[in-house]
Amino acid sequence: MLESLLVLLIPSVSRAIDRYCRRTFYTVAEARDYDYTTSPAIRLRDDLVSLTGITCNDDAEVDVSNLVLEPRIGPPYSRIAWKQGVGVGFTWTGTQTSALSIEGVWGYKASLPPDIALACMAWVSDIYAMSDSRGLESMSGGGVRASLRKLDEGPPPDVKGWLDHYRKPTKFGAIAA
């Protein structure tokens, strides 16, 4: 029983952590499409661990040796910029939508940060500790009321301390509650 419950809980809590932090803590190697830009840098929607290549929709390949990943202290990287002194060389045909295909390894880091693993274990333990009360939305007694948390309500307060450092800012730079 315990093992089957953990098999169900761990992936669900892991994805809830990803949603809360607005980033993924697993890696995937793939190409992702971006719109054409005249800017000397591409702001990435997702965290990038490493860059393999960029292809424009006119099948021109960008020489990645002319690019730098930012911030320099990454990964994760959030921007791809042209090196100083190198002319911007993105090309496109037809539509500017999805004109660039960026291939690489996407995710926060190549390996899971220990704080994230601990947060996942603590959150799973929190849910497991409440499993004796399954089927109950809340319980009360002696003037005290306790409610069961749902994954979409976010992490328990003690787990947030491990996660808040990893939360990705919103588009406007603020961390949403």
Q: Specify burial of residue 132 (Cβ count, 10 A radius: 0-12, 13-18, 19+).
A: exposed
Q: Is 110 helix (H, G, I), strand (E, B) or coil?
A: coil
Q: Of 5-9, 17-21, 24-28, 141-145, give the lowest mean pLDDT range.
A: 141-145
**pLDDT bucket at 171, cuts 50 / 70 / 90:** low
The per-residue DSSP string of 160-172 comes to HHHHGGGPPP-TT
4-13 confidence digits (pLDDT tens): 777 888 999 9
CA distances from 101 to 54, 61, 92 (A): 6, 10, 11
C-alpha radius of gyration, the chain, whole number: 21
Which residues face 70 on adjacent strands?
79
Amino acid of residue 38:
T
Q: pTM for this one?
A: 0.79
Three-state DSSP class for residue 96: coil
Give me the mean pLDDT over the 117-127 stretch.
Answer: 92
